[in-house]
């Protein structure tokens, strides 16, 4: 897709999200949070759902968890301005509860369209809900965040070949500081995955872990 067409399609998508009433979460939101970042980003980060600050500002990861995420991204050499950040659901669930399966299903087509438009090389799933949702889309078996975190998986999602890497949600690392070094370690793998393989598509696990 040409850059101008991609931009136009992206703007259409954002407008649809802003008007969307496909699930009950629309009734609680102040602002939907479609996502942000360059459309040619090679890395996409996918969280779970907007929180209070995100709902106020209409931007992803701007609260405490967002500050932690931004600082870790800087530290591992992945400046936030270079990555695209979004969530599985685009409207805040009341009281920050987990999004319900039917809400995830209703909102999922937007995330899949974002993946098709941006065509990232690496998708980082932040937290168990994002991890499980994206693993299911890739046809992979989800065995829980503590077993899947930090293991790059070759995947095809929405027709796009990516490396899927699950890790803890930054909010979990705030509540449990022991998770923070693990989150850092996992995010620290992303530049290496990109650096070793440049612009080409990954084909197999050996492609990013050569013996
Ligand atoms: S969460 Fe998604 S599906 Fe539900 S109203 Fe918001 S944009 Fe629409």
Which ligand 1 atom sits closest to the C-alpha of 49? 1
d(CA 159, CA 61): 27
As beta bridge partners, residue 167 has: 126
Query: What is the CA(177)–ligand 1 centre distance, in A?
Result: 31
211 found inside a domain:
no
Range of the domain at 116: 3-197
100 found inside a domain:
yes
Cβ pair 132, 108 in contact under 8 A: no
210 found inside a domain:
no
Better-scored residue on pLDDT, 2 or 115: 115
User: Has residue 60 got a pLDDT over 90?
Assistant: yes
For the stretch 97-106, pLDDT in tens is 999 999 999 9
Q: What is the pLDDT of residue 199?
A: 53
Residue 157 CB less than 6 A away from ligand 1: no
Mean pLDDT over each residue of the chain, to the nearest integer = 93
Query: What is the CA(123)–ligand 1 centre distance, in A?
Result: 21
Cβ pair 125, 169 in contact under 8 A: no
**Which residue has a Cα nearest atom 6 of ligand 1?**
91
Query: What is the CA(33)–ligand 1 centre distance, in A?
Result: 10
205 found inside a domain:
no
207 found inside a domain:
no
47 found inside a domain:
yes
User: Has residue 208 got a pLDDT over 50?
Assistant: no
- For the domain that residue 99 is a member of, what is the CATH number? 3.40.470.10
User: Has residue 142 got a pLDDT over 50?
Assistant: yes
Q: What is the pLDDT of residue 202?
A: 43
Residue 22 CB less than 6 A away from ligand 1: yes
Residue 33 CB less than 6 A away from ligand 1: no
Q: What is the pLDDT of residue 203?
A: 42
Of 10, 165, 27, nearest to 103 by C-alpha is: 27
d(CA 211, CA 206): 7
pLDDT band at 175 (very low <50, low <70, confident <90, very high): very high
pLDDT band at 209 (very low <50, low <70, confident <90, very high): very low
Mark out the alpha helices in the chain (DSSP H runs): 3-19, 52-57, 64-75, 101-118, 128-138, 145-148, 170-175, 180-187, 189-197, 205-208
Domains held by the chain: number: 1
């Amino acid at each position: 897709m040409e850059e101008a067409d991609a931009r136009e399609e992206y703007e259409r998508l954002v407008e649809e999200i802003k008007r969307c009433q496909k699930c009950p979460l629309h009734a609680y939101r102040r602002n939907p949070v479609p996502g942000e970042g360059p459309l040619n980003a090679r890395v996409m980060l996918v969280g779970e759902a907007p929180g209070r600050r995100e709902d106020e500002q209409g931007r992803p990861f701007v609260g405490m968890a967002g500050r932690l995420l931004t600082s870790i991204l800087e530290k591992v050499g992945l400046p936030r301005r270079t990555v695209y950040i979004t969530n599985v659901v685009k409207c805040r669930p009341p009281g920050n509860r987990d999004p319900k399966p039917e809400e995830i299903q209703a909102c999922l087509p937007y995330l899949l369209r974002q993946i098709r438009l941006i065509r990232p090389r690496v998708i980082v799933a932040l937290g168990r809900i994002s991890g499980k949702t994206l693993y299911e889309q890739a046809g992979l078996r989800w065995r829980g965040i503590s077993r899947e975190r930090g293991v790059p998986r070759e995947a095809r999602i929405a027709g796009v070949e990516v490396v899927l890497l699950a890790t803890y949600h930054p909010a979990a690392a705030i509540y449990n500081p022991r998770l923070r070094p693990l989150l850092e370690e996992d995010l620290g793998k992303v530049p290496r995955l990109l650096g070793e393989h440049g612009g080409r598509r990954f084909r197999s696990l050996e492609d990013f872990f050569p013996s």
